[in-house]
Amino acid sequence: MPRTLLLAVSLVAALGAPAPGFAQAPQLDPRIEKLLSQISEARLKALDEKLQSFGTRNTLSRQDSATEGIGAARQWILEEMQRSSPRLHVSFDTYQVAAQGRITRPVDLRNVMAVLPGRSPRLIYVSAHYDSFARAAAGAPPADTPAPGANDDGSGTVLTMELARVFAESRVDFNATLVFIVFAGEEQGLIGAQAHAQRAESEKLPIEAVFNNDMVGNPTGGNGLADTSGVRVFSEGPEDSPSRALARYIRRWGARYEPSDSVRLIARHDRFGRGGDHTAFNQHGYAAVRVTEAREDFARQHTADDTLVDFAYVARNARLNAAVVATMALAPPAPRVTDERGRPTLGRRPSGYDAQLRWAASPGAVGYRIFWREAWTPDWQHALAIGNVTEYVLPDVSIDDYVFGVAAIGPDGHESVVSAYVNPPRAAGRVLVK
């Protein structure tokens, strides 16, 4: 029989004040704080300088040199991540790609992947793209054009490589398995990410989140405006999609460990009319977001002038990523809030005017937190921690006027992403006419 708790407060008391959990000082995990302290600005700089030394990392550049082109770059990334820690399982994620679109000839494409096994098969990805691109001068082969790609996306690549090292060396026993992956072919149409996401979907890999870091190194825009503490997080809709839930989680938990950071959530899948590797995962049904600098210098993108990186800013963004990824990896998985037919387990019982929330138990959870907000508001306004139950009733709260969600809490207080109760779209009706 389901265990039901009735919240013995009035509607005014329930909805009149911000959630206590939002206002109280957070309990910080010293393991995560130590992990953040190990991120090295000097190492980030050294890794990025080495990436630039290959001249270009264009996906169509040479693969037969030990010092130039994408072949040399990917081999160095592989060996560098292998050197980082014996705990990392490092390999090439290889595809033979036929000529298509901006891939003008068949190519051996290799993503580089480092896996840190956890206690469960849940997968959390930290990603970037290591290929680079610069517009060619008239008559010059594009693949041979110098393309240092220090920021696009050397900054995201070195962030991913550094987090692979730091997480592996931390010796923290994570619940989730962590995947640190850098893709090739992004500049030719997200080819490496598409190939990987396509295979992940076919193999039903349980990817819970993809943190795609693309251009996280230059806080000064081409208009001279700078933002050294801000970062943007782009996420696809609709409003309560898994990607939007992940974006809210980044701001909620990132602020606890990095309170000086300003995380700006952007309700778009990416910059207007543009895309990144997270898009490939979205298209295959996975929660994925783009983390990117607050200001952009468009004049330096896809040119030989992409050499400017502020490594203090990269380190700040690395700590933000690390805090959120570690929290999520230590937490239980998010609760399932649908039944076996995919219908949301949200109703009006027992009185007909109460919000009754039900969910499936989350493995490892010792409690749950209920969230709710007015239906025209994009982010959660109220939260309430409850016990280890799988059903809860908010009396006199209309399920028509509010959006609800629930997160699982682990024994150390780490909290999952919020699972929102989403009203499924109605199928179009059909009228028989003569």
CATH number of the domain within which 158 lies:
3.40.630.10
The pLDDT, as a whole number, for residue 127 is 98
Residues 281 and 360 in one domain: no
Q: Is residue 425 part of a domain?
A: no
Residues 360 and 375 in one domain: yes
The pLDDT, as a whole number, for residue 427 is 82
pTM of the predicted protein model: 0.93
pLDDT band at 2 (very low <50, low <70, confident <90, very high): very low
Residues 375 and 308 in one domain: no
Q: Is residue 430 part of a domain?
A: no
CB-based burial of residue 262 (10 Å sphere; 0-12 exposed, 13-18 middle, 19+ buried)? middle
Residues 326 and 340 in one domain: no
The pLDDT, as a whole number, for residue 430 is 87
- Which tokens in the block code for residue 66? 């030990």
pLDDT band at 200 (very low <50, low <70, confident <90, very high): very high
The pLDDT, as a whole number, for residue 26 is 56
Task: Assign residue 330 a region (left: φ > 0; alpha: ψ between -120 and 50; beta: otherwise).
Answer: alpha
The pLDDT, as a whole number, for residue 425 is 81
- Tokens 């680079």, residue? 132
Task: Give the separation between CA 145 and CA 62, rounded to whole angstroms.
Answer: 12
Neighbours of 225 (CB within 10 A): 10
State the total domains in the chain: 2
Residues 315 and 386 in one domain: no
E-strand ranges in 316-375 read: 346-347, 355-358, 367-374
pLDDT in tens, 251-303: 999 999 999 999 999 999 999 999 999 999 999 999 999 999 999 999 999 99
CATH number, domain of 359, equals 2.60.40.10
The pLDDT, as a whole number, for residue 75 is 98
The pLDDT, as a whole number, for residue 276 is 96
Beta sheet of 391-394, edge-to-edge order: 346-347, 355-358, 391-394
Task: Give the separation between CA 159 and CA 156, rounded to whole angstroms.
Answer: 5
Is the pLDDT assigned to residue 120 strictly greater than 50?
yes
E-strand ranges in 105-223 read: 107-116, 123-129, 177-183, 207-213
Domain carrying residue 113: 38-330
Q: Is residue 212 part of a domain?
A: yes
**Single residue among 311, 330, 349 that ends a domain in this structure:** 330
The pLDDT, as a whole number, for residue 289 is 98
pLDDT in tens, 65-103: 999 999 999 999 999 999 999 999 999 999 999 999 999
Is the pLDDT assigned to residue 429 strictly greater than 90?
no
Three-state DSSP class for 52?
Answer: helix
- The conformation of residue 101, written as its DSSP 8-state character, comes to T
pLDDT in tens, 204-259: 999 999 999 999 999 999 999 999 999 999 999 999 999 999 999 999 999 999 99
The pLDDT, as a whole number, for residue 259 is 93
Neighbours of 94 (CB within 10 A): 13
**Single residue among 266, 301, 330 that ends a domain in this structure:** 330
Residues 6+ apart with CB under 8 A from 371: 19, 380, 382, 383, 404, 405, 406, 407, 418
pLDDT band at 176 (very low <50, low <70, confident <90, very high): very high
CB-based burial of residue 81 (10 Å sphere; 0-12 exposed, 13-18 middle, 19+ buried)? buried
318-335 burial: b if 16+ Cβ within 10 Å, else e: bbbbbbbbbbbbbbbbbb
Task: Give the separation between CA 278 and CA 287, rounded to whole angstroms.
Answer: 8
Q: Is residue 434 part of a domain?
A: no
- Which tokens in the block code for residue 130? 């290591």
* Nearest to 258, CA basis, from 293, 225, 231, 291: 231
pLDDT band at 197 (very low <50, low <70, confident <90, very high): very high
- Tokens 């076996």, residue? 340
How much is the average pLDDT of 171-192?
97
Neighbours of 35 (CB within 10 A): 23
How much is the average pLDDT of 188-208?
98
Contacts of residues 419-424 at CB distance under 8 Å and 24 or more positions apart, as own/partner, are 419/245, 419/334, 419/335, 419/336, 419/337, 419/359, 420/240, 420/245, 420/337, 421/337, 421/344, 421/345, 421/346, 421/357, 422/240, 422/344, 423/344, 424/342, 424/343, 424/344
Residues 385 and 310 in one domain: no
Task: Give the separation between CA 126 and CA 157, rounded to whole angstroms.
Answer: 10
Task: Give the separation between CA 118 and CA 300, rounded to whole angstroms.
Answer: 39
pLDDT band at 25 (very low <50, low <70, confident <90, very high): very low
Residues 343 and 195 in one domain: no
pLDDT in tens, 310-339: 999 999 999 999 999 999 999 999 999 999
**Single residue among 330, 361, 378 that ends a domain in this structure:** 330
Q: Is residue 5 part of a domain?
A: no
Three-state DSSP class for 214?
Answer: coil
Is the pLDDT assigned to residue 183 strictly greater than 50?
yes
Q: How far is CA 39 from CA 147, 356, 397, in A?
A: 27, 44, 46
Q: Any idea of the CA torsion for 79, 80, 84, 90, to the nearest 10 degrees?
A: -40
* Nearest to 249, CA basis, from 283, 287, 281: 287
Q: Is residue 122 part of a domain?
A: yes
- Which tokens in the block code for residue 241? 């999609």
Q: Is residue 75 part of a domain?
A: yes
Residues 173 and 315 in one domain: yes
8 Å CB contact between 382 and 15: yes
Task: Return the percentage of the chain with pLDDT > 70, whole number.
Answer: 93
Q: What is the mean pLDDT of the chain?
A: 92
* For the chain, counts of helices (H) and of strands (E): 10, 15
Residues 226 and 345 in one domain: no
Residues 264 and 370 in one domain: no
Residues 378 and 298 in one domain: no
Backbone angles phi, psi at 344, to 5 degrees: -65, 135
Residues 179 and 299 in one domain: yes
The pLDDT, as a whole number, for residue 237 is 94
pLDDT band at 14 (very low <50, low <70, confident <90, very high): very low
Strand partners for 264 = 232
The pLDDT, as a whole number, for residue 137 is 65
Is the pLDDT assigned to residue 308 strictly greater than 60?
yes
Q: Is residue 322 part of a domain?
A: yes
Residues 6+ apart with CB under 8 A from 192: 59, 93, 95, 109, 111, 129, 131, 183, 184, 185, 186, 277
- Which tokens in the block code for residue 27? 């309990």
pLDDT band at 136 (very low <50, low <70, confident <90, very high): confident
